[in-house]
Each structure stands twice: as C-alpha cells, then as structure tokens.
Amino acid sequence: MEYAIEIENLTKKFGNFTAVNNVSFNVKKGEIFVFLGPNGSGKTTVIRMLIGLLTPTSGLGRVLDFDIVKNPEQIRLNIGYMSQKFSLYDELTVEENLDFYAGVYLVPKDVLQQRKREILEMADLVGRENSITATLSGGWKQRLALGCAIIHNPKLVFLDEPTGGVDPVARRQFWDLIYRLSENGVTVMVTTHYMDEAEHCNTIGFIHYGNLLAVDTPENLKKNQMKGQIIEIKCDKLMESLELLKTVDFVKDAAVYGQGLHIVVDDAKRYLVTLADILKSGGVKVANIKHVNPSLEDVFVFLVENESRKQFIREMM
C-alpha cells in the first residue's frame, strides 16, 4: 500500500449546493499534503468525509485502506484529527485535556507518562501542565490541540485550518511541529488558505468552489501549470496602471501583487521594454520592472481565472 488516502470522484451535495465536485487525488504515505483554497472552497467538507463525519453523495474514498463509508470506526482508531476551532475543554487543565484524550484513545497506561512528557516537550508546554486551558493564548491552545490529536501516535493526522487566527510566530512554530511529525513517518493532511504555508510541503491540492484545480509538488505547479511568464512592476498609480495594462493585447492577465503588479505574458524578455514604455507614455513612474518566477499565488490566480474562463465557455455552449 503506497497511499495513505485514495479518493475517487468524491462528491458532496447539500441540497442544490455542490460543496465538493468530483474530486480525485491520492496522498502518499509519509508526505505532507496541503489542501489549499479560499474559505468555503470545500476543504473542510472533504476532510469531514474522510473521517466519517459526512457521508459522500457519490464517489469512493479509502483512508489507510479502510473504506470511508463502511469502516469509519477503523479509520478513527488510526488517525488524529484537529478541527477548525481548537476543540479543547476550556475548564480542564493542559494535563487533564491530555489525560482525557489518552483515556478515550486507550493509550496504554505504562507508556502514558512517557507519551505525555513527549507531547508537552514537543508542544513547548512544559511547566504549563496545570494551567487552565481557557487561560492559554491561541498559539498554546493550538499546540495543545495538536498534542491531544496525536497522543495515541496515529499514522495519519488531519489538521483542518490549524493556523487560523494565530499570530505569525506561532504559525511558524506550528509548522515546525508538522515537519517533525512528517520526519517521524506520520502522513499529514493540512488545510489552509495561507499560500506561504504551502511552499515547503510535498504536495499541494488546489481547490476552488468544490473543484480540484491541480495536484502536484510546489515546484511542478509553478513550472507546469502556468501558461506564460510573470513580469513584476513596481510603480506609482497602481490601479490606474492596472487598468491601462489590461487593455494591452499581449497581456494575458494583470493583478495587484503586494506593493506592485504581476503581469502575465507569453514571453517576458520580449515584452519587458514595451510594457515600460506603455506605462511611461501613460504618465506612470516606473521604479522597477523585471521578469520573476511565478509564486504559488500567481499559479493559483491563473488556475482560478482559467477555470472561470472554461466555465464561461461551457455555459455559452
């Protein structure tokens, strides 16, 4: 068995609304798979189907070789799950929360103390064992929630938006924990809407309005998915320039990116000077214009645009 998760044509409808549309992908054992997409794109729905919380409308899914519809209890024995809001018992102390989940997961009593110490050290919670959970800050809670989810040493961990509402330092710390899990052979499936978090994972699945747009390594996505090259422009009058460039016929796409603009063209070298001239004659002061490698955000924006173009064409025909 090479895959920890196998999904084939998975669909979930809520009434007339299709939350997940015909999604297929596999997650290799031991990899970090990032499910990337904006809020409401269907990431959580896919995860909830995989752990047996929701029944798929159609399609197949296997997690650790167990069918997601027939054998959810077998799956639950072997996975860890951390839901969107870190679902801890606020009135309990850090240690009581760990003890509770250890009891529910039947962690053998002879290894319990050892396991708890590992978790506390890993989550940087040593010395906080007796703090009431409600008094912890977001980062601590988040790491404790992860600790509770993996107290039984699962082979596969689902983390649903684990870094939502947490400060950047805590986010970095948390991702260090995810890498550590992966080093120990645990398969990790993480959902997020932060592009930067996806840069260092093994595989990314792009999902948008229930449709899986692409699944690949970050490098391959940047190399293969983009039809075109990126020119980055730093200039004044951003919005005016954006409107101006959108009217140019060889510009395939233009969008604000950070402090500047990203322009998609077929051949960056060929159009670089032309673009600079167009802007100057339009009265825009250009500080910097250069050919750059596409970021994940560029790829995602491109894929979404591409998808809506396809959708548009489908609807016309």
Partner 1 sequence: MKLNFRRIIAIINKEFIQIRRDPRTIALILMMPIMQLLLFGYAVSNNVDHVPTAVLNLDIGSQSRKLLSSFSNSQYFDLDYYVKSIDDVQKLVDKGAVKAGIIIPPDYSENIARGKTAQIQLVVDGTDPTTAQVILSSAGSITQVYSTEIVSQKIQTLTQGRKLSGVLDIRPRVWYNPDMDSVYFNIPGLIGIILQNITLMLTSFALVRERERGTLEQLIVTPIKKMELMIGKIVPYIIIGFVDLILAVAIGTLWFKVPITGNILLLFAFSIMFLLGALGVGLFISTISNTQLQAMQLSMFLIMPNILLSGFMFPRDAMPKVIYMLSNFIPLTYFLKVLRGIILKGVGIEYLWPEFMILVVFGVGVLVLAAGKFQKRIG
Residues that bind partner 1 (CB under 8 A): 14, 48, 51-55, 72-73, 76-77, 79, 81, 83-85, 87-92, 96, 99-106, 132
In the complex, least distance from residue 111 CB atom to partner 1, rounded to whole angstroms: 14
Residue number, 163 or 241, with CB nearest to partner 1: 163
> What letter represents residue 169's amino acid?
V
Residue number, 65 or 196, with CB nearest to partner 1: 65
Residue number, 43 or 48, with CB nearest to partner 1: 48
Distance of alpha carbon 88 from alpha carbon 131, whole angstroms: 13
In the complex, least distance from residue 208 CB atom to partner 1, rounded to whole angstroms: 22
CA distances in angstroms from 206 to 20, 33, 101, 244, 254, listed in the order given: 13, 11, 32, 30, 21
In the complex, least distance from residue 274 CB atom to partner 1, rounded to whole angstroms: 54
Residue number, 60 or 304, with CB nearest to partner 1: 60
Residue number, 21 or 74, with CB nearest to partner 1: 74
Q: Which helix (H) or strand (E) holds 203?
A: strand 203-208
Expressed in percent and rounded to 5, the helix, strand and coil fractions of the chain are: 40, 30, 30
Nearest alpha-carbon partner for 56 in 31, 22, 101: 22
In the complex, least distance from residue 143 CB atom to partner 1, rounded to whole angstroms: 16
DSSP string, 207-261: EETTEEEEEE-HHHIIIII-SSEEEEEEESSHHHHHHHHHTSTT--EEEEETTEE
Residue number, 53 or 111, with CB nearest to partner 1: 53
Residue number, 132 or 256, with CB nearest to partner 1: 132
Nearest alpha-carbon partner for 190 in 29, 31, 32: 32
In the complex, least distance from residue 102 CB atom to partner 1, rounded to whole angstroms: 8
Judge whether 27 and 2 are in contact, CB under 8 Å.
Answer: no
3-14, strands of its sheet edge to edge: 17-28, 3-14, 58-63, 66-67
In the complex, least distance from residue 10 CB atom to partner 1, rounded to whole angstroms: 15
The token duo for 155 is 């082979």
In the complex, least distance from residue 166 CB atom to partner 1, rounded to whole angstroms: 16
